[in-house]
Structure 1
């Protein structure tokens, strides 16, 4: 859940940015003062122009005031330039820093976080929400201060010219502010809904484009379009509701303000007619009053925008404040000699049922251990625990006779090479994909590709610097798997994990890769999950898992004699081949 925040809370969180950009903020402050002061001075100068030039006909003022007018406008627009440029500088750099910080923290979080949040939602938070958050410091607050100082300056001119008229003009302001607070609460609620709906829209688009083959294969284009249209329509409705409320603020201020102006014209007209007030003073007063309503209206509009930005801030700071539940220890894992699971129990969050119920097995360097069992039996969960993606519920997972919780997570994962059922490839060269975990070394890339039986097809596609399309769209399933295997081998880990890693390979490639794995085991521990038992027949240990429990452990020949479930798998595989 997001923590409810006020504008004060948000501004406090921005304290580091005030320190970082204090020079730029100082220049912006000068710009604000020049801009606001120039506007107020312009209103005040109407009095000498009318009274001393046009009514009293003082010729000396005719040559002095226009030049003063030009100087005021020069300073006013110089201030506007300083304010605009340095606000853009602060905003752009802040956006860069915030995006980087949010992504850095998200990448620290546990796998469970990514299972609970859709990718489109996270993309929205890293882009749209941060853009709204950045606008608070770089746009909304400076603009708010500019309008506030301008309004104060102009109202100062109003009071100086006639305190009596100022009373009649400003008495209506409290009447306008009362309904404004109600509208602002509504705007904050709608702003939060807009952020959520935008996330839903991006998630829907992400699903469509990620599964485009499935969509087209099932002629489901219209179905997906209808789903998207519902999300799109819902998004637009919330925006229109927000626009309806936001559009009320300015007209409401203007209508109420017009009452004050009407009273001023009546009272001020009487004052001028009776000779208690000069024409210049009255026009200076009325000009300052009219100009003051513009920043006051702008202030009411900005206050609504602030609520939207605060809603985005809640979502962004929620991500920045999240901490990974799995911390790991301080000990660096230098090498892996053996691994033991002792009475390990595990359940995913919010699940009352254990996925693993007292798992026991062990294997050492130089051995291949295979996990075999029915789907949903807990094999992939064992891999997730070995990678420390999740925390076990009970028992011990020992690396070199020391529990996994003692080791630094980075050093642990540096020693493990993982090839999963889902192949993850980036829109980059073959070389960059293979050398993903470390610095690129051409010789090692070629060696890893050859070991994975992938070098030949990579050369035929243009060599190791040829491009892999997004998600490997220009590769077959078998080619993707071989690149993934090469990536794991390039890492030169102590533990190699293959989760159905050869399922998409043809028989010849599978035999070549299996021979490579057999050769690699001398200096490593190898863990395999396979549904094709032919790939694990030569394993040193085969662990049969069913419903989260170990049924039997042994070699292929032993299990054929002692384990009924293993015999069942073997017979089924023979029938399929026949």
Structure 2
């Protein structure tokens, strides 16, 4: 039986699960002192169990032949055993919890570190909901395996070993009864393990569906409501949640069946043990104290055996979660084989015979070749799907270039170290990315936080952020909510432009950077952007042709190729593809203006 999880095939009955668990336990290595201390604590707990069984032997023998002041001795011994057991339990539990939670913390940080370094294609093939489920739900399942399961396995395992050793010491022939039943217990655990792990993978997938469905509906709540999609989203979420419930109930059913079966085998061993122990032929060499001590040890061994059997469910869920996490961590990250570094490039960009297609197929760019001089402003225009944004995204190496070549200052971008390459580039996306924080924190994001307040203020002023920030209650320290939800579309884009201004990179990419600005805001910011572009190599992707009329050069793209290039005036004079686009937008603008005028004409005059 096999199960496919996000492209990785997991065979349920293969030894891969234990290989995965060993890899998980490798995270324990940095915390070995605490781990050894916890092992010592659990050994003390296990020893106290055997000591208690041994104490029962002396107590029964004492009842047969009383000695003076024995009651003080036995009472003190009992208290001593339980005090030592309590200390051992605390040291063991605290130590293993510290190690396990440290392992989970390291694992969570490692998978997040991998996720932020994975290539763009990976995010095209996986939904955000499923990736978040790995970091949250799957890691929680690993917590169960690394904390609860490991603690139980170690503590109860040592207890079983200690008690079994004592049973063998008392009467090895009777102890063999337990060993004869062990294969049956192992068979029950192994059979349940297969199903536990397969169902755990199904639950993780279904939980990813739940997270993904909820995330889409909540992020797009306005579209959901305006298009009457609430009932549709309810049904979609209910279906995803119901599948998760069904898989969970299958897991519960498996656990509910496997635990009594394993307990039955344990009870069978106990029954056989008592039957033989009461047979004079087997216990003739044992005193009454030995006999009671043997039964006490046998009775004490049932609880840890049951705990070990029941922990299998948690352990298998953790292994399945770890397999899912490690499959992501083993994905190849962005290739960063470059060694070249520059303090600051001049901004010359050369593109040679560039072609590109996404994994989904269909060639997006076909033989693009263009030279962009340092400080030149080049605009990319064309219909949607012509390849403008794809071309711009290849310059900072969001995707690997092949075949073809992109050079910056004469150096292939593959030869630059990735962080150094991107250090020279500022980007303003059409889909603005903002974070839950203040206006100031979003402008001075990450490494830009080292800039002075004066520099941040100047960037905000250049992008006309101060125009609306000064009207806010906390000014630049005003919180803007998740993804800048408390700002208008134009305000969000101006904030992103201010971030690019503050970076002061020699290469600036503006992907529809003014698309969300109203006419008045656009007029204000256009002059500021012209000042910002001076001295920088700027690549502007624009839908509204009015915003790029002053560009040094305009590249017109159709179906992944550059079909025209020149200045605004030159391209209009050619009466080609650019002129047609310009005329189309000109007509649309006039129609909109006419409609707006008609709306304000008094009804009695119309």
- Between the aligned partners of 2:64 and 2:291, the Cα distance in structure 1 is 14
- Between the aligned partners of 2:18 and 2:376, the Cα distance in structure 1 is 60
Contact 1:6 1:310 in 2 (8 A): no
User: Deviations for 1:471-504, whole angstroms, at most 9, x for unmatched residues?
Assistant: 1111111111111111111111111111111112
Paired residue secondary structure (2:505): coil
Contact 1:453 1:513 in 2 (8 A): yes
Paired residue secondary structure (1:390): coil
Paired residue secondary structure (1:382): helix
User: Is 1:557 equivalent to 2:569 in the alignment?
Assistant: yes
* CA distance 1:161–1:378, shift in 2 (3 Å): same
What is the CA-CA distance between 1:327 and the residue it aligns to?
2.2
* CA distance 1:327–1:3, shift in 2 (3 Å): farther
User: Is 1:476 equivalent to 2:488 in the alignment?
Assistant: yes
Range with greater deviation from structure 2 (162-171 or 554-563):
162-171
Contact 1:342 1:395 in 2 (8 A): yes
Which residue of 1, 8, 14 maps to 1:2? 8
User: Deviations for 1:432-451, whole angstroms, at most 9, x for unmatched residues?
Assistant: 10111412421111111111
- Cross-structure match for 2:152: 143
Give TM-score scaled by structure 2 length: 0.90
Count of residues paired in the alignment? 576
Contact 1:91 1:137 in 2 (8 A): yes
Contact 2:104 2:146 in 1 (8 A): no
What is the CA-CA distance between 1:425 and the residue it aligns to?
1.0
- Cross-structure match for 1:459: 470
What is the CA-CA distance between 1:170 and the residue it aligns to?
4.3
Contact 2:365 2:560 in 1 (8 A): yes
Which residue of 164, 169, 173 maps to 1:160? 169
- Cross-structure match for 1:356: 365
Paired residue secondary structure (1:108): coil
Contact 1:87 1:139 in 2 (8 A): no
Which residue of 320, 323, 333 maps to 2:332? 323
What is the CA-CA distance between 1:275 and the residue it aligns to?
6.3
Give TM-score scaled by structure 1 length: 0.95
User: Is 1:294 equivalent to 2:279 in the alignment?
Assistant: no
User: Is 1:505 equivalent to 2:553 in the alignment?
Assistant: no
Q: How does 1:423-462 map to 2 (within 5 A)?
A: 423-436=432-445, 437-438=447-448, 439-461=450-472, 462=474
Which residue of 221, 236, 243 maps to 1:227? 236
User: Is 1:174 equivalent to 2:187 in the alignment?
Assistant: no
User: Is 1:569 equivalent to 2:569 in the alignment?
Assistant: no
User: Deviations for 1:183-205, whole angstroms, at most 9, x for unmatched residues?
Assistant: 11111111121222212211111
- Cross-structure match for 1:90: 99
- Between the aligned partners of 2:179 and 2:99, the Cα distance in structure 1 is 36
- Cross-structure match for 2:259: 250
Contact 1:481 1:501 in 2 (8 A): yes
* CA distance 1:341–1:62, shift in 2 (3 Å): same
- Cross-structure match for 2:602: none
- Between the aligned partners of 2:464 and 2:412, the Cα distance in structure 1 is 36
Paired residue secondary structure (1:464): helix
User: Is 1:531 equivalent to 2:543 in the alignment?
Assistant: yes
- Between the aligned partners of 2:334 and 2:460, the Cα distance in structure 1 is 37
Which residue of 46, 51, 67 maps to 1:36? 46
Which residue of 24, 31, 34 maps to 1:21? 31
What is the CA-CA distance between 1:19 and the residue it aligns to?
3.3
* CA distance 1:451–1:64, shift in 2 (3 Å): same
User: Deviations for 1:377-421, whole angstroms, at most 9, x for unmatched residues?
Assistant: 000101110121001222221211222111111112111111111
Range with greater deviation from structure 2 (241-250 or 491-500):
241-250
Range with greater deviation from structure 2 (162-171 or 266-275):
266-275
Contact 1:169 1:260 in 2 (8 A): yes
Contact 2:339 2:415 in 1 (8 A): yes
User: Is 1:45 equivalent to 2:55 in the alignment?
Assistant: yes
- Between the aligned partners of 1:167 and 1:470, the Cα distance in structure 2 is 64
Contact 1:344 1:357 in 2 (8 A): yes
Contact 2:349 2:406 in 1 (8 A): yes
Contact 2:119 2:334 in 1 (8 A): yes
